[in-house]
Amino acid sequence: MPPICILLGLLVFSLHAPPWSSASDTLEEGQALAVGGKLISRNGKFALGFFQPGTNSSKSPSATTGWYLAIWFNKIPVFTTVWVANRERPVTGEPELKLSRDGNLAILDHATESIIWSTRAVNRTETKTNTSAVLQNSGNLVIQGPPDVVLWQSFDYATDVALPNAKIGWNKLTGLNRVGVSKKSLIDPGLGSYSVGLLTNGTRGVVLKHRDPSLVYWSWSPDKSGMQIPALKTLLYIIPQTRGLVTPWYVNNNEEEYYFYNSSDESSSTFLLLDMSGQMRFNVWSQDKQSWQSLFVQPVDPCRSPDTCGPFTVCNGNSQPFCDCMEGFSRESPRDWDLGDRTGGCTRNTPLDCTANTNTTSSTDIFRPISPVALPRNPQSIQDATNQSTCTQACVSSCSCTAYSYQNGVCTIWNGELFSVKQNDGNEILSEDVLYLRLSAKDLQSLRKNKTRPNIGVVTAASIIGFVLLMIVLLLLIWRKRFRWCGAPLNGSSKSSGGIVAFRYSDLSHATKNFSEKLGAGGFGSVFRGVLSDLTMIAVKRLDGARQGEKQFRAEVSSIGLIQHINLVKLIGFCCEGDKRLLVYEHMPNGSLDAQLFQSSASATVLNWSSRYQIAIGVARGLSYLHQSCHECIIHCDIKPENILLDTSFIPKIADFGMAAFVGRDFSRVLTTFRGTVGYLAPEWISGVPITPKVDVYSFGMVLLEIISGTRNSTQVQSSSGNHVHVAYFPVQAINKLREGDVRSLVDPCLHDDFNLDEAERVCKVACWCIQDDELHRPTMGEVVRVLEGLQELDMPPMPSLLAAITGCSHVPSVL
């Protein structure tokens, strides 16, 4: 063949640029990748190609969505993208990825013959050699020129996912800031409402913020050693699946400042995700469950993210779903809500009735109270409103006013849409304010009609159900007489039985292998491991002693059986058959806190500081929920490490409500019988004054001190001569060292100085305030949560008078 023919053939080949082989990890200059083709990393873990959201495929077409260039996990059956190039510009025609002769990657739309997206990073004057695009084993797409010089990489242009070895941070020389942005919805990978990135203003730290408007709602900084980011550092220790697999790093030099994490197990699949709700999630693929498991979430409360539910909504972190419309409103777009996009929020069912003339405003609108809630953002204060009536009138007189609040003599109104209204769900301590929502009078009438209008179908169904329930009651009475069931009804049994299961004794005996695997024992009975027929792991507490066992049984079912919280142990069910009293709980694989803190074995794993700090916050949240968010205030009365259980992820769960007490909000009830454990008892148990939730605060303070030291507060110390033994009381040492500024010497030496000193000082300060003699000087558990989360500061605590008597100090505590 003549040479000229060969040259013409090569020219035609390069102009057509056929799709590149899907078996390769490399795209050379002049080659193209079309729909159906893909690059696969050499380890087979990642793939790059075009896909359409909603089709769960990179091949099948869809008329409703465009094409996106993405990188995804190649071997995982759940289609999961980790990077998307053209997030804001889907290709509606025939897409093609091409490595141009100028060395840049570009997405072309053949239908419009336009460039949709390009790297525009390679300057041919800088490199005169050939370039290639390579999908690396890490999931990083790079443009490189020999000898392996990286000219551009996808890791520098984050989406909503950070893979191992991907940097979160900035280049001080070029100004490049790698900021991750959440996606809009499950089928729209476009730029969503939230971002995560490194501060570049000289302040060290990472922030999560709402993008429009710009509102920072979560931030953290490296510890003083400058090594690790706390949110990722936690994974090292508290998540068993990540121990030895995940290592987080913090780097700060003259050229760059960034965070990243790496994994020693290349076979595992993990990624850090900023989800559509504004939460950071560390996800690990579970082969057993064939799904992604979120092992770490920050912030824990989804309602912490501003505007996560859109306008005219209420957020409740304990509900599923956690967003709901305000009364008188409906979802703007139910389909978008189903896809995770709630930015449209809710819209009014009935327009407001308001007419504004030159000097007067006419309106028949009414106001509906919503409480207790955290008030919306962007309030407007009304100075001349001296009472609630004038505050109401101030809102009525403006057609744009949609709500008002009158608290402690202060009038506040809101104009337009209402954002970030949060219900007090106990996950985060909020002020219990009342928001008066403006509704049309017609809307209120329809709401009343819906509540009062009889429904023939409902009445008929209720009659049938009532008859069936009556028959069940008769059968239960017969059954109760036959099997000698409980001699008296449980306190509030109509409430406590809802949602929990009544087990037969024979079933629990079978589940526990005839109570052969004992987990532990206490003053009222023993706890056994068990497995239900659906393979659910359980812990069965078998209560001993007729009187005390019955008393504890009733207390636990009527307290923990009524409530649910992430930091309270879940009561699954009970057995009350004859004289047998058993309680069935969710199983806690990591046992109790005392077993983790006070292990005697030298080979035992030491509970690291990150775990201890998260446990302290979790227990505080659980107690705050009991004290402030339940219908009646519940005082646990026996907070100690033995009653704090730890799940697989070392999330703490408060347990053992056998001594719990319900009290009115005025705390007027006097408990005459000692409740609790020596060493954790508040002084007021002896004085006979009315007991308040502050007894739990005192006990929690004692637990915090043991978390710091890793030992019991009271320990026996033998003299050097060995002639006598005295008791060393750690709280005395703690408050003295705190006031001297030497907290470091208080921390468990088994940690080998691997802890955050700021956090340790904060915990020690909180603990010393909690153990003040006078309950009025102690903080509430809500305040404790805010302090531990870094949202509130505390002054230096005074020396409690009881400790002062021990040390010979004469300081008297002042009011907090």
Q: Annotated catalytic sites, by residue?
A: 638
Q: Is 231 helix (H, G, I), strand (E, B) or coil?
A: helix
CB-based burial of residue 96 (10 Å sphere; 0-12 exposed, 13-18 middle, 19+ buried)? buried
User: 465, 380, 450, 382: which is closest to 415 by C-alpha?
Assistant: 380
CB-based burial of residue 657 (10 Å sphere; 0-12 exposed, 13-18 middle, 19+ buried)? buried
Buried b (16+ CB within 10 A) or exposed e, 145-170: beeeeebbbbbbbbbbbbbbebbbbb
Q: 10 Å Cβ neighbour count for 559? A: 26
User: CA-CA distances (angstroms) from residue 730 to 437, 695, 706, 746, 754?
Assistant: 52, 19, 8, 9, 21
HEC states along 684-715?
HHHHCCCCCCHHHHHHHHHHHHHHHHCCCCEE
User: 106, 259, 90, 101: which is closest to 179 by C-alpha?
Assistant: 259
Which amino acid, residue 259?
Answer: Y
* Tokens linked to 41: 């990393």
Q: How far apart are CA 302 and CA 46, in angstroms?
A: 30
Contact assessment for residue 48 and residue 38, using Cβ atoms and an 8 Å cutoff: yes
Q: Where are the alpha helices (DSSP H) in 710-780?
A: 730-740, 757-770
User: 752, 706, 715: which is closest to 606 by C-alpha?
Assistant: 752
Length of the chain in residues, anyone? 816
Contact assessment for residue 46 and residue 71, using Cβ atoms and an 8 Å cutoff: yes
Q: How far apart are CA 233 and CA 229, in angstroms?
A: 6
Strand positions, DSSP E, 186-290: 188-198, 206-210, 215-220, 246-252, 256-263, 270-274, 280-286
Q: Is 106 helix (H, G, I), strand (E, B) or coil?
A: strand
Find tokens 């409480």 and name the residue: 371
Handedness of CA 388, 391, 395, 401 (dihedral sign): negative
HEC states along 497-543?
CCCCEECCHHHHHHHCCCCCCEEEECCCEEEEEEECCCCCEEEEEEE
DSSP for 342-405, written as a single string: -TT-EEESS---EEE-SS-EEE--EEEEEEEEEPPSS-EEETT--SHHHHHHHHHT-TTEEEEE
User: 333, 313, 413: which is closest to 373 by C-alpha?
Assistant: 313
Which amino acid, residue 615?
Answer: I
472 Cβ contact list (under 8 Å, min separation 6): none
